[in-house]
C-alpha cells in the first residue's frame, strides 16, 4: 500500500533518530512555538500543531444585512472560548482565522499578545503553557461578514444571505467565522450561542438547549456533546420554522424549514425515519444523539452534511437527503484523515444513495454501477485519481461516482458477507475519529482474508478505467 510504505519508512527513520539519541520535534520537552498546520498536503495551513482543541464555546451576536443592497454584509460580534490541551510545552500557538478583527486574546484569564499572518492568528501567552495542562483561550473578535469563497470559487464559510446566513464550511471555511484549529484531525465538542434579531432563528448542530428573548434579540443555544470536525459546524440564521419530532426508533429530529419555501421544497425529507432505520441495518447504529435538516431559501450551490443537521440550498431532494444522512456515518463519525481521502466520504455517500434507491424500489445499485461503467474509457471522468484527486478535485464527479463504483466492485470482489461486515465494522472501528484509504484497504483485507493491493491500485490509485471484476 502506497502510503503505508511511506509511513513504514517514517517509523524506521524515527526509530533511527531515537537510537541516535535524538528526540522527534513533537516530543521535545524544550518549550517551542506550535505549528501553523495540521500536516495536510492539500491545505497546509488548515489546523495547527502543538495542541489539541477539545472544546469550543462560541458566543456570537449577528445582525443580518439591513435592506438588500449588494454586496450583502452582516455584522458579527463574538467571543470564542477555545479549550486547548498543549501536546508539548508551548511558547506560542496558532489558531486559524480569516478576516474579521481580533480585539483581544486571553489565555488562562490573563491577557496575551497576538499577531495575524495570512489566515493564522498567532497567540503568545504571558507564560509557557505546559504540555498536557488544559487551558482556555478567549478571543474577542468581530466585523463585517461577506460571502467567502473556497479555492474552487464556491461559496462557503459564513455566507451572508438576505435574511441571515448559511454556514457550510467544507473543507476549511470555519475559519471565516471563528478562531479554530480548522482540520478534522482535531475534533472537539461545541457549545454555540447565536443571538439574532427577534423573529429570526439560528440553527446549530446537536441539541437545542433553549432560546431566550430580551430587548428585541433572541439567543439560540445549541450543544454538541459528540466530537465534531470543524467543517461540519453550522450556525445558520434565517426565517425558519423549527419542527421537532422523534423517529419510531426514538431519535430526536429537529428540522429548520425556511418559511418562505413552498412545501414541495422539503418533501424529500418525508422518508427520513425510514432512511435512518434502513441505514442502521447496513451501517450500524446512527452515530449521534439527534438529526434533522436545515432547508434555506437561499443557496450556496450545494448541500452539506453538517453534523446531525445537513443544510440544503433551496430544496432537499430525497436522494440528497439519503446522501447527507449517510455522511453521518461516512465523513462525520469517521472523517478523512487528509483531504486526499475524501472519496471515503463521497464514494460511500453516493453508494448509500444507490442502496436507498434500490430499497425504495427505484434504480438498483447494479443499474447505477452499470451506468458509471458505461462512461467511455476515453472520458476525462476516468482521469481523476480517486484517492488523491488534488485540492481542486475534492468534489470531482469521479470522487463520488467512481468512488461508489469502487465500493460496488469491492462487494463483487470480496462477496456480500465480507462486504456487509465491512460496512458495519468501518464506522464502528473508526467512530468519532479519522481514517485513511490505507486503513480502509487494511480492514477490507482483514475481513475478507484477501490481498486487495491490485484491486485498490486499479480502482482508486490509478487513472484510467478499471476492468469490471
Ligand atoms: N460534501 C457535500 C456533499 O457531498 C458537497 C460539498 C460541495 N462543496 C463544494 N464546495 N462544492 O453533500
Ligand atoms: Zn457528499
DSSP assignments along 353-380, one per residue: HHHHHHHTTSS-HHHHHHHHHTS-TTSG
Would you state the pLDDT for residue 11?
Answer: 39
Residue carrying the nine cell digits 446537536: 206
**Cα 417 to ligand 1 centroid, rounded to whole Å:** 31
Distance 395 CA to ligand 1 centre (A): 6
- For the CA of 310, the nearest atom of ligand 1: 12
> What is the tens place of the pLDDT at every residue in 363-395?
999 999 999 999 999 999 999 999 999 999 999
How far is the centre of ligand 1, averaged over its atoms, from the C-alpha of 137 (Å)? Answer: 31
pLDDT bin (cut points 50, 70, 90) of residue 71 is: confident
Question: CA–CA separation, 333 vs 188, rounded Å?
Answer: 12
Residue nearest to atom 5 of ligand 1 (CA): 304
Rounded mean pLDDT, 207-222 = 98
pLDDT at 67: 74
Which range is least confidently modeled, 3-17, 51-65, 153-167, 214-228?
3-17
Q: How far is the CA of 315 from the centre of ligand 1 (A)?
A: 15
Residue 244 exposed, middle or buried by CB count within 10 Å (0-12, 13-18, 19+): exposed
* 331-351 pLDDT, tens digit each: 999 999 999 999 999 999 999
Asked whether 409 lines ligand 1 (CB < 6 A), one says no
170, 287, 280, 282: which is closest to 229 by C-alpha?
Answer: 170
Residue 25, pLDDT above cutoff 60: no
* Substitution candidate for ligand 1 out of 293, 325, 395 with most atoms within 8 A of CB: 395
**For 268-309, what is each residue's pLDDT tens digit?**
999 999 999 999 999 999 999 999 999 999 999 999 999 999
Q: Select from 173, 167, 131 the least CA-distant residue to 151.
A: 173
Among residues 444, 430, 255, which one has the least CA distance to residue 345? 430
pLDDT > 60? residue 205: yes
- The protein residue whose alpha carbon is closest to atom 3 in ligand 1 is 304
Q: What's the whole-number average pLDDT of the chain?
A: 94
Q: Is the CB of 156 under 6 A from ligand 1?
A: yes
Average pLDDT in the 210-228 region? Answer: 98
Q: 306-336, pLDDT tens digit by residue?
A: 999 999 999 999 999 999 999 999 999 999 9
Ligand 1 centroid from CA 331, angstroms:
12
Pull the grid cell for residue 108.
Answer: 488562562
Percent of the chain, pLDDT > 70?
A: 93
pTM: 0.94
On the question of pLDDT at 12 being above 80, the answer is: no
> Which residue would you say has higher pLDDT here, 27 or 38?
38
Lowest mean pLDDT among 17-21, 216-220, 284-288: 17-21
Dist. CA 166–CA 144, nearest whole Å: 15
Residue linked to cell 471484476: 469
Would you state the pLDDT for residue 70? 72
What φ, ψ does residue 301 adopt, rounded to 5°?
100, 0
Ligand 1 atom with the smallest distance to the CA of 302 is 7
Q: Please report where in the chains the cell 495542562 appears, as a residue.
A: 133
Nearest residue (by CA) to ligand 1, atom 6, is 304
User: What local confidence, expressed as pLDDT, does residue 19 receive?
Assistant: 40
**Any idea what DSSP says for residue 32?**
E
Domains delineated in the chain: 336-459 (1.10.390.10)
pLDDT tier, 206 (very low <50, low <70, confident <90, very high otherwise): very high
Task: Quickly state the pLDDT bin for 253 (edges 50, 70, 90).
Answer: very high
Whole-number Å distance, alpha carbon 344 to ligand 2 midpoint, is 10
Query: What pLDDT was estimated at residue 140?
Result: 98
Predicted local confidence at residue 9, as pLDDT: 37
pLDDT at 69: 65
Beta carbon of 163 within 6 Å of any ligand 1 atom:
no
Quick one: pLDDT at residue 457? 98
Q: Which residues pair with 121 in a beta bridge?
A: 95, 116
Phi and psi at residue 377, to the nearest 5°: -60, -25
**Is the Cβ atom of 341 under 6 angstroms away from ligand 1?**
no
Q: Tens of pLDDT along 35-62? A: 999 999 999 999 999 999 999 999 999 9
Summarised one tens digit per residue, pLDDT across range 174-200 is 999 999 999 999 999 999 999 999 999
Name the band, by pLDDT with cuts 50, 70 and 90, for residue 29: confident
Q: What is the pLDDT of residues 412-458, one digit of tens each?
A: 999 999 999 999 999 999 999 999 999 999 999 999 999 999 999 99
Amino acid at each position: 500500500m502506497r502510503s503505508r510504505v511511506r509511513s513504514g519508512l517514517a517509523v524506521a527513520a524515527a526509530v533511527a533518530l531515537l537510537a541516535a539519541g535524538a528526540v522527534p520535534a513533537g516530543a521535545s520537552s524544550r518549550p517551542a512555538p506550535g505549528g501553523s498546520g495540521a500536516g495536510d498536503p492539500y491545505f497546509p495551513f488548515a489546523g495547527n500543531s502543538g495542541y489539541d482543541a477539545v472544546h469550543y464555546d462560541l458566543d456570537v451576536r449577528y445582525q443580518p444585512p439591513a435592506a438588500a443592497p449588494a454586496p450583502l454584509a452582516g455584522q458579527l460580534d463574538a467571543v470564542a472560548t477555545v479549550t486547548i490541551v498543549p501536546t508539548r510545552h508551548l511558547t506560542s500557538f496558532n489558531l486559524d482565522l480569516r478576516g474579521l478583527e481580533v480585539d483581544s486574546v486571553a489565555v488562562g484569564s490573563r491577557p496575551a499578545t497576538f499577531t495575524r499572518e495570512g489566515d493564522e492568528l498567532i497567540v503568545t501567552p504571558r507564560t509557557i503553557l505546559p504540555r498536557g495542562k488544559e487551558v482556555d483561550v478567549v478571543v474577542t473578535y468581530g466585523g463585517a461578514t461577506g460571502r467567502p469563497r473556497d479555492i474552487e470559487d464556491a461559496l462557503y464559510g459564513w455566507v451572508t444571505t438576505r435574511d441571515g446566513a448559511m454556514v457550510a464550511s467544507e473543507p476549511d471555511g470555519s475559519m471565516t467565522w471563528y478562531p479554530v484549529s480548522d482540520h478534522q484531525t482535531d475534533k472537539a465538542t461545541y457549545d454555540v450561542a447565536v443571538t439574532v434579531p427577534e423573529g429570526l432563528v439560528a440553527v446549530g448542530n446537536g441539541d437545542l438547549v433553549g432560546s431566550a428573548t430580551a430587548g428585541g434579540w433572541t439567543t439560540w443555544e445549541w450543544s454538541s456533546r459528540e466530537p465534531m470536525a470543524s467543517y461540519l459546524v453550522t450556525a445558520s440564521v434565517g426565517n425558519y420554522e423549527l419542527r421537532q419530532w422523534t423517529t419510531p426508533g426514538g431519535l430526536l429530529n429537529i428540522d429548520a424549514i425556511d418559511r418562505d419555501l413552498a412545501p414541495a421544497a422539503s418533501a424529500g425529507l418525508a422518508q427520513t425515519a425510514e432512511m435512518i432505520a434502513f441505514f442502521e441495518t447496513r451501517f450500524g447504529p446512527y452515530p449521534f444523539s439527534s438529526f434533522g435538516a436545515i432547508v434555506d431559501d437561499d443557496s450556496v450551490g450545494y448541500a452539506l452534511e453538517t453534523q446531525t443537521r445537513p443544510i440544503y440550498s433551496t430544496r432537499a431532494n430525497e436522494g440528497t437527503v439519503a446522501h447527507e444522512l449517510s455522511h453521518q456515518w461516512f465523513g462525520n463519525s469517521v472523517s478523512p484523515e487528509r483531504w486526499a481521502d475524501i472519496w471515503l466520504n463521497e464514494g460511500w455517500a453516493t453508494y448509500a444513495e444507490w442502496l436507498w434507491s434500490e430499497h425504495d424500489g427505484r434504480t438498483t445499485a447494479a443499474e447505477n454501477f452499470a451506468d458509471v461503467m458505461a462512461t467511455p474509457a476515453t472520458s476525462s471522468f476516468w482521469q481523476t485519481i480517486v484517492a488523491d484527486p488534488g485540492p481542486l478535485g475534492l468534489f470531482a464527479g469521479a470522487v463520488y461516482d467512481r468512488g461508489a463504483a469502487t465500493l460496488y466492485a469491492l462487494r463483487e470482489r470480496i462477496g456480500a458477507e465480507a462486504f456487509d461486515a465491512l460496512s458495519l465494522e468501518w464506522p464502528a472501528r473508526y467512530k468519532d475519529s479519522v481514517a485513511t484509504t490505507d486503513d480502509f484497504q487494511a480492514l477490507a483485507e482483514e475481513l475478507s482474508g484477501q490481498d486487495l493491493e491490485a484491486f485498490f491500485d486499479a480502482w482508486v490509485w490509478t487513472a484510467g478505467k478499471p476492468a469490471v471484476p
